[in-house]
Each structure stands twice: as structure tokens, then as C-alpha cells.
Amino acid sequence: MNILLAIVLAAAMTASAQVPVARVAEDARVVDRVAEVSRGDLPQDLLRRMVNEDLDLLRGKRADGTYAYAAYERLESSRISQSYSINPSAEDSLSTVEVKGTFAYRVILDVPTRRLLVRKNNPVFVDRVEIEYMPQTSSAAKTQIVKVGTWLEPGTLRPFELEEIGRQATVRVFARSDKKTGYGNLGLTLLQAKVVDVPESPYADAVASIKAIQRGIDRRDIESIRSMAQRITAGLTPTASGSVVNVVAPAAPVAVPAEVREVATITPEIQGELQAIEDLLTGTDVERRQGMDRLHQLIRRLRSR
């Protein structure tokens, strides 16, 4: 029975990783043609939805939100925030507030300096934080309890890391305010992890091209959109046998000095770090700063070898 179950699970995982490359290639032809005939009326929303779906396909997105050829890392992609008013209560009575999200890796408690527009906020006593989550690598729910047991003054930010990135997470905070000062405002924020492509993906080139198309759509860069769409079409062209061959012309060989060739051997770990850095450097200002920090750290590690 165990052997049969293992075979079924392996077959399911293999099926989930199958990528409809013909559809992605056909979508790339459509993107190329639409960009070609556009005259200042590029349908950005439509094209963006199309290439976003194709990116999920190339990453091998599964029903549970995970990917065959990408992984979630503790880098902020978005956040979910809720604000609550914590009312006074007896010392043995606590109010419970919560926030829910997917692929979360950090929760932040925030006691703002103001409540409403001009009134100063009051301190909030936080007894504990309870986190229920489903790890992305497991189907067994986990509970993480963080004992706080202190008053948080206005202007305080208190972060708490989830032990693992949670596919689904519910964070509950048990708190109260002081009867003498009145209610206090408390904010809860869940940071959601960023999807990072793995360098071992067989569709790494097409994924990079789609990311370039996304940037081109944002900038209305027709030439870049068409160039990358044509590259995807060529790279995902199926042969008569049904396999996919990358027919993109290889880059001209570059002469590498002898002293550099030894360093040029890149391990899978370094490849993954470089991919994460590339994703960050093409993101927001905050993400670009994070990318530069990680790049400097990587350079220092390589120099110390």
C-alpha cells in the first residue's frame, strides 16, 4: 500500500509540473502582433494578465499556490494590514484581534502614535501572539505561540518571524488597554513572501523573457515587448517529435581571462542567490536596495574564498 501511495504521489507531482509550452508560445505570438499594430493604445491590462498567467504556467504553478520551478523566499512582495481599537478590560480579560493571509513569513505589531487625526494614541498591553499556519512544505498545520507580556508604547513596531513560510496563516493577538487612559489602536501586518525562480528551471530563459515583457508593458516599450515575445516563440517551438528545442541563436563566445575562469564556476547556491538579486533589482526602490545589499554580501563571500 505504501509503495502504491508513493507511486500515485510521484505521478501527481509529475503531472503538476507539466507546462503547456505550446500555449505560452502562442500567447507570445499574440503579444508580438498586438504590440506591432499598437499606435499609442497598447492594451496594458490585457497583455499584463496574459503574460502573468503564462509566467505561472512556466513556473509550474500547483493548486496549493506553490510552484515546481520557483520557491517563496523571505522577501516582501506585498502585505496585509488591519487596524483595531483595543478596549480597556480587567487584567484577566483580553481582547482578541486577528489577521489572515497566504504565504506569510512575518507579522508586525504596530502601535501608531496617533488615533483618529490629532489625538495621541494610548499604550496597548500585548499578552501573546498565536500563529496558526500551514507550512508550504507540509500538509500538517502548526501553531506558534510568542509570549510578549508587555506594554507597547505609541510609536512601537514589534516584528515576529514565522518559523516557516505559511501557505495559509492566521495571526491572533491577545491584548488590552488601560482603563485609566482609555482605548488604544493596534495595527497588525502580515508580510507575504516573494516568488523567486530557481535556476534549475528548464524554462529559465522564457521566464526571464516574460519578466522583460512585463517591464516593457509598464514602460510601453514596444520594441522590447516584441523582441522578447519573439524570443519566447522561438525558444518554445515544438519539434516534430513533440519536444521543445531552444532555437534562439547562441551568444557569441566571450574570451574570459584565465584568472577569472576559476571564479566563474558558479554553484547552484550562488545561482539561486544571483537569481534572487536579479528579481530584487528589477523591483521597487525598497527591493532594489535589498538587492544591492545582498549583492555586496555575495561579493564579500566570494572574495573571502
Measured in whole angstroms, the distance separating CA 60 from the mean position of its chain's CA atoms is: 15
Kindly list the domain boundaries of the chain, sorted by start residue. 18-69+198-251, 72-196, 261-305
The third-level CATH classification (topology) of the domain covering 72-196 is Jelly Rolls (2.60.120)
SS3 string, 6-59, reads: HHHHHHHHHHHCCCCHHHHHHHHHHHHHHHHHCCCCCCHHHHHHHHHHHHHHHC
Quote the crossing angle between the two packed helices 285-303 and 268-281, to the nearest 10°.
150
Tell me what pLDDT residue 19 has: 83
Neighbour tally for 186: CB within 10 Å: 24
Cell of 231: 524570443
Note whether 126 and 148 are within 8 A (CB): yes
Express each pLDDT in 246-275 by its tens digit.
433 333 344 444 443 444 456 766 776 787
pLDDT of 276 higher than 90: no
This prediction's pTM: 0.68
Tell me what pLDDT residue 81 has: 95
Tell me what pLDDT residue 237 has: 74
SS3 for 186? strand
Q: Find the Cα–Cα–Cα–Cα dihedral 150, 151, 154, 159, rounded to 10°.
A: 20
Express each pLDDT in 148-205 by its tens digit.
999 999 999 999 999 999 999 999 999 999 988 889 999 999 999 999 998 889 999 9
Categorize the per-residue pLDDT at 16 as very low, low, confident or very high, splitting at 50, 70 and 90.
Answer: very low
Express each pLDDT in 112-156 by its tens digit.
998 877 789 999 999 999 999 999 888 899 999 999 999 999 999
CA angle centred on 227, ends 224 and 229, rounded to 5°: 105
Q: Is the dihedral of CA 71, 75, 80, 86 positive or negative?
A: positive
